[in-house]
Amino acid sequence: MKRWLIGLGLLCLVLGMGWPWLKEFPLGRLPGDITVVRGNLRFYLPLTSSILVSGVVSLILWLLNR
């Protein structure tokens, strides 16, 4: 459990330090992501991005457990 928490902390640290470059990645603005803006209401559903991230994470976990 300690190793997982340390690994998660290091991952958060790396993602935080790389945020200026990561926000330029088009994840979240892919075709299929739904955005509705009406007056003061802004609704965002990252459908395609969620499917892509899920697939990548599943592939990584499958490779690690192999």
Q: List the beta bridge partners of residue 56.
A: none
Distances (CA, A) of 48 to 25, 29, 36, 51, 62: 14, 9, 15, 5, 21
The tens digit of pLDDT for each residue in 12-56 reads 999 889 888 877 877 778 898 999 999 999 999 999 989 999 999
Q: Would you list the domain boundaries of the chain?
A: 2-65
pLDDT at position 24 is: 81
- Whole-structure pTM over 0.85, yes or no? no
46 exposed, middle or buried (CB, 10 Å; 0-12, 13-18, 19+)? middle
Question: Residue 17 corresponds to which amino acid?
Answer: M
From first CA to last CA, the distance across the chain in angstroms is 21
